[in-house]
Structure 1
């Protein structure tokens, strides 16, 4: 079995953050846009978010950074559109 999402950060702040669990749940449900209810996420967890987005087929978008500790984040579900075949 191959590991899908690796928790790369062993810092104490990671274990105190619960935002990833809420965001992961939204991805598992297939929500179109996923964020932390308007709040930034811990910058130490950036790679974890990237991995989760890749696994669940989302595009991660990171924005402003605050205090070198927090970063704005939204994930957008990737979709593919197939054109109908005309006969």
Structure 2
């Protein structure tokens, strides 16, 4: 991989907030499937993202953990199958 953009803010909360903001935008706009653009999420964001998914009626799915820092994530919009 090639570094495209380096955050100059040294506080990890900044990059965690950027990650959550990208996902939150997708939740608010009702995407059918949500992920972190093909990347895992920070473990520190897992609970916040899970709670946001539930609030916006998504089923969050979490997978493999990498380097004790990252976890696979995706969410699916819940749909009603009423006639």
User: TM-score, length-normalised on structure 1?
Assistant: 0.78
The answer (yes or no) to whether the contact 1:60–1:76 under 8 Å persists in 2 is yes
Q: Which residue of 2 is the match for residue 78 of structure 1?
A: 78
RMSD: 1.0
Distance 1:55 1:77 in 2: 11
Structure 2: segments with no counterpart, 5+ residues? 1-10
User: TM-score, length-normalised on structure 2?
Assistant: 0.81
> Of the two, which has the highest radius of gyration?
1
The secondary structure found in structure 1 opposite 2:75 is: strand
Aligned residues: 72
Deviation readout 1:33-59 (Å, 9 max, x if unpaired): 000110010001111011101110000
Question: CA shift at 1:19, angstroms?
Answer: 1.3
Q: Which residue of 2 is the match for residue 48 of structure 1?
A: 48
